[in-house]
Amino acid sequence: MRETIRFAWGDSSLGDFVAAVSDKGIVALEFSATRIAMEDALRTRFPEAALEPGQQELASVIDIVGGVIDDPARACDLSLDLRGTPYEVQVWRLLQEIPAGQTTNYGTLAAKLGSRDPRDVTAAIASNPIAVIVPCHRVIKKDGSISGYRWGVRRKRALLVREQHATGERDAGCSHG
């Protein structure tokens, strides 16, 4: 039986995004202003699946994702269907352990994985298909500077600033939410 993957579009303070969902959870969350090109990219990524628009069925997912983009420090309990090589999935799970408002660097992640070459980690991070929820934006260069981001350095910087602001409010005892 052919797998069905539904997708829907949302808009956020950081631009339009698409969420694609399997029966197990989110398989893709990407920023894109070019809907036709993104839908073609989803068809290429999931060639064996029936790709179907699901704007109404996924309305609550789109609302939750939009909220997480606006406040990336917010907990997100949406199920994920991480699809990649075993190494990529291992890296992506490690990214999910980085607390909001904190960053790490590529070399530190490589060391945690028992590798000396941060380029392997960099490649796995670059192929992360689930923006924000798998927080690859929390990985920066060893010198503290912001390096590339699949969805643009401007978005990465904005996500980091939002997390710093949100966690600073929480640490100061202010209500948030």
Q: Are residues 162 and 92 in the same domain?
A: yes
CATH number at residue 38: 3.30.160.70
In the predicted structure, residue 32 carries a pLDDT above the cut 60: yes
In the predicted structure, residue 172 carries a pLDDT above the cut 60: no
CATH number at residue 96: 1.10.10.10
In the predicted structure, residue 39 carries a pLDDT above the cut 80: yes
Work out whether strand 26-31 and strand 15-21 pair parallel, antiparallel, or are unpaired: antiparallel
Residue 76 a catalytic site member: no
Query: In the chain, where does DSSP find H-type helix?
Result: 35-45, 59-70, 86-96, 106-112, 118-126, 153-171
Domain that holds residue 132: 86-171
Most distant pair of Cα atoms in the chain: their distance? 53
In the predicted structure, residue 142 carries a pLDDT above the cut 60: yes
In the predicted structure, residue 143 carries a pLDDT above the cut 60: yes
Percent of the chain with pLDDT over 70: 95
Task: Summarize pLDDT for 79-123 with one digit per residue, the tens.
Answer: 999 999 999 999 999 999 999 999 999 999 999 999 878 899 999
Active-site hit among 136, 139, 159, 166: 136
Give the pLDDT score at 169.
57
In the predicted structure, residue 67 carries a pLDDT above the cut 80: yes
Q: Hey, what amino acid is at 46? A: F
In the predicted structure, residue 131 carries a pLDDT above the cut 50: yes
Q: Of 39, 70, 101, which residue constitutes the final position of a domain? A: 70
In the predicted structure, residue 160 carries a pLDDT above the cut 90: yes
In the predicted structure, residue 177 carries a pLDDT above the cut 50: no
Q: Are residues 97 and 159 in the same domain?
A: yes
Q: What's the structural domain count of the chain? A: 2
Is 151 among the domain residues?
A: yes
Burial of 17 (0-12, 13-18, 19+ CB in 10 A): buried
Residue partners of 59: CB distance under 8 A and separation at least 6: 8
Q: Are residues 160 and 118 in the same domain?
A: yes
Q: Are residues 54 and 90 in the same domain?
A: no
CA distances from 98 to 2, 63, 78, 105, 173 (A): 35, 24, 17, 11, 21
| Average pLDDT taken over every residue of the chain | 91
Q: Of 41, 70, 99, which residue constitutes the final position of a domain? A: 70
Is 77 among the domain residues?
A: no
Q: How far apart are CA 130 and CA 29, in angstroms?
A: 4
Q: Are residues 140 and 103 in the same domain?
A: yes
